[in-house]
């Protein structure tokens, strides 16, 4: 009836610091490649598009206006949104170039053929 006393090892040491930070580093790397890097690439493309604007380019503003570039100053771009209707916009507010294959109006026969 005598119980044998077994010697137990002491508590293990702390895990290495790299193992403790590995999940945190992994999450940061995933966020960088899924969120931060694509956003930086979009900003770079937008900046290049603004630098390469030229007269008569068809553009879309962030407010949704479609227009044709008439004049380009350092920070201001003048757009013609309708015949004899010109609007001055801040250069960064130009969202993108309008695609050339977009139909101009609903009455355009080419646009009706594409819908069928």
Report the 10 Å Cβ neighbour count for 16.
9
| 26-73: pLDDT as tens digits | 999 999 999 999 999 999 999 999 999 999 999 999 999 999 999 999
* CATH number, position 71: 2.30.30
Residue 89: domain span? 54-100
Q: Which two three-digit tokens encode residue 43?
A: 């900003």
| 77-111: pLDDT as tens digits | 999 999 999 999 999 999 999 987 655 555 555 54
The structure's pTM equals 0.64
* Cβ atoms of 93 and 61 closer than 8 Å: yes
Residues 94 and 58 in one domain: yes
Report the 10 Å Cβ neighbour count for 57.
17
Helix (H) or strand (E) holding 67: strand 66-72
- Alpha carbons 87 and 72: distance in angstroms, whole number: 12
């Amino acid at each position: 009836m005598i119980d044998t006393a077994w010697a137990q090892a002491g508590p293990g040491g702390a895990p290495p610091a790299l193992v403790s930070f590995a999940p945190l580093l992994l999450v940061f790397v995933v966020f960088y490649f899924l969120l931060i890097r694509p956003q930086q690439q979009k900003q770079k493309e937008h900046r290049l598009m603004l630098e390469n604007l030229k007269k008569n380019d068809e553009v879309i503003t962030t407010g949704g206006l479609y227009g044709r570039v008439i004049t380009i100053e350092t920070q201001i771009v003048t757009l013609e949104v309708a015949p004899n209707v010109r609007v001055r916009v801040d250069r960064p507010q130009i969202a993108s170039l309008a695609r050339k294959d977009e139909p101009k109006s609903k009455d355009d026969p080419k646009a009706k053929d594409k819908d069928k």
